[in-house]
Chain A
Amino acid sequence: MTGAAKTARRREPTLEQREARAGLALISPTVIIVLAVVVAPIIWTFIIAFQDLRLRTLGQTGLFPLEFSLDNFVEIVTAAGFVPALTTTIVYSLVGTTLAIALGLAAALVVRKPFRGRTLVRGAMLLPYVAPVVAVTFVWSIMLDPNLGIINAIGQDVLGWREPIPFLSQRSATWQILGFQFDVPVALVTVIVYQAWRYFPFAFLFLLARLQALPGDLDEAARVDGATPIQRFRFITLPQLMGVIALLAVLRFIWTFNEFDDIYLLTGGGAGTEVVSVRVYEYLIGRGDLSAAAALALILAGLLAVLLIFYFRSPAARSAI
């Protein structure tokens, strides 16, 4: 496409109009289905949250009864377990995101330079992310099982644990190191470690792509000036990765915050791992309270929006993105 062609097009309004019309016609099926299956349901959730819709009576009640009240929100916020679920969600998202990105960065650095078998190693590193979530959570729950699991078998036979650790069903355990006592939230730590394992490949892919596109001359210049490998990483490579890392942090935080499958499948939300999305499911299916579920889901989305606004307003984020 040359500049001349562009100006020619601009001079001829009919062609431009025809293009605009064709563009709208071609994009409209996509837009319509996204509006119908994504945007309209989101708006509808707001309506449901202010109504009193129950699963049991769903067939009889009209879908748009005009009684709006804040009861659902009051009920949810004052319910036992609401605040712990919020804290768990935030801790899970923050620590999980950080670990996943750190692990992904380490993985990307390790396979950065070519070596024999590199393609295979890179492929292996993508496995946790690609495999079906139901299958990997099932394998993890069996591996960590107190009776059948290999981790507890090794722990007892080789590492000398006195009794098996119920990784996914124990709320907390007391650890003694050097006379200090630590309360460890066992199940929460386990799901966070799992989360880092499953999602580090995503960070790995993007960081590797960025690493391999970095111009080599800066690094070379630093080497000539006598900078050691660690200094070159710290002062040359890492600053160039910060943009991607910041973007990954936002994306992974959003997705972890909204995550349902992994925790539901691993612990069902028990043993101190109840995050808000699992609680929404509990309201929806367990209690059949559609409106309470909608209200809680909106609180989740609203909180995420607030956190994101704070992040994007912070000076750290502005300099990184």
Chain B
Amino acid sequence: MSRPSLAQGQGVRSVVIPKTGISRERVEGRILAVSKMVGIAFFLIITLLPFYYMFMLSVRPIERLARDPGALFIPLDQITFDTYTEVLRSVRDGGQGFITFIINSGIIATASVILAIALAIPGSYAISRLDFFGRRKVHYLFLAVYLFPAILLAIPLFVFFSRVGLRGSLFGLILVYASQTIPVTIHMLRNYFEAVPESLEEAAAVDGASRLQIIRRISVPLAMPAIMATGLFVFMIAWNEFLFALLFLVDRRESWTVTLGLSQLAGSIEVPTTVLMAGAVIITAPILILFFLTERLLVEGLTAGAEKG
């Protein structure tokens, strides 16, 4: 009589196991779906709120802010854009001179892009296509850029540029920015040069094209989107950079960059917070616009290789 009961018991168990499995799957799935929604909301709030706050403060009169610092929404009729005109206007006209900072940053960033790309195109082409002595060792050289703190590099560069009288000039900064971004520009461009079909280049070589002609006529046009994205990336880094600008340019207000200008003025009590917020919006907006225009290319270029684990 014991056998049937055992079979019965087994039968019960074999029904129960998948049942709990399914319900646990369902319960966990439900919990995960809810926590996913909560997570998305959480991340949206922590990432967007500071930027919304930045913009909101920039269009408020300072007296209003002092009276009601906790407000997240402001009545439309209180919005003012005087803060923007004040922060942009030159010091002589009673403003903060941000227009000068924007021009300085624009010049430095553009020149850094041109120099970095001019170096990175031949450099990354060589690494991706040509087998030369030390090809695999070049990376160790670039590692130095990453491993040593910028502040360490800054000391001898500070001494050097002071001695040759280049410390206050924009040229020194351009040289520093271009060299600091070389590892990442070469990394990004190399992946694209490697993706250009080699047969195309060989066909051109058979037709008598020189190496430089091949680069100019075939590789560069094909990798153009990547070159643009890399250039914009360098632009963003140069525009955002703070430490070297602080060390090299702080003595002369007329050569301040946007980041240096904002940080220096943020320390003084004479400039209203809302005016400086307008400055913060002005230096942030172009970067965010550039980034979202090129997001896909940038993300692909930067994370190339990460998929492999």
* Interface of A toward B, CB cutoff 8 Å: 1, 5, 16, 19-24, 26-27, 29-31, 33-42, 44-45, 48, 53, 58-59, 63, 106-107, 109-111, 121, 123-128, 130-136, 138-143, 147-150, 152-154, 157, 197, 205-206, 209-210, 212-213, 226, 228-230, 240, 243-244, 254, 257-258, 260-261, 265, 277, 280-281, 284-285, 290, 293-294, 297-298, 300-301, 304-305
Contact = CB atoms under 8 A, between A and B. Distances in A.
Contact of B132 (A20, A148, A149): A20
B43 A124 contact: yes
* Interface footprint category on B: 35 or more
B247 interface: yes
B179 A229 contact: no
Interface string B21-42: 1001100110010001001100
B149 A277 contact: yes
Contacts of A244: 306, 309
Contact of A121 (B40, B57, B133, B134): B40
B288 A153 contact: no
Given A63-B163, A134-B242, A23 B130 contact: yes
A33 B178 contact: yes
B202 A5 contact: yes
Main SS class of interface, B = helix
Contacts of A260: 149-151, 243
B95 interface: no
A33 B152 contact: no
Contacts of A301: 147-149, 152
Contacts of B202: 5
10 nearest A-B pairs in the assembled complex, by CB-CB distance: A23-B132, A153-B70, A23-B130, A258-B149, A213-B307, A30-B123, A26-B122, A297-B152, A26-B126, A41-B156
A44 B156 contact: yes
A42 B152 contact: yes
B69 A150 contact: yes
Given A197-B46, A260-B150, A132 B303 contact: no
Contacts of B147: 254, 301, 304-305
A320 to B, nearest CB: 11
Contacts of B149: 257-258, 260, 277, 280, 297, 300-301
A200 B151 CA distance: 23
| Most-contacted residue by chain B among A63, A126, A130, A205 (CB, 10 A) | A130
Nearest to A201: B47
B249 interface: no
Contacts of B160: 41, 44
20 contacts: A20-B133, A26-B122, A31-B138, A39-B141, A42-B153, A138-B262, A138-B263, A138-B266, A139-B50, A148-B66, A153-B68, A154-B70, A209-B307, A260-B149, A265-B242, A280-B149, A284-B155, A284-B158, A294-B156, A301-B152
Contacts of B295: 123, 126
B159 A130 contact: no
A41 B180 CA distance: 13
Nearest to B198: A1
B239 interface: yes
Contacts of A142: 57, 273, 277
B44 interface: yes
Given A33-B175, A205-B299, A229 B239 contact: no
Contacts of B308: 213
A294 B155 contact: yes
B244 to A, nearest CB: 11
B47 A124 contact: yes
A148 B147 CA distance: 39
A230 to B, nearest CB: 6
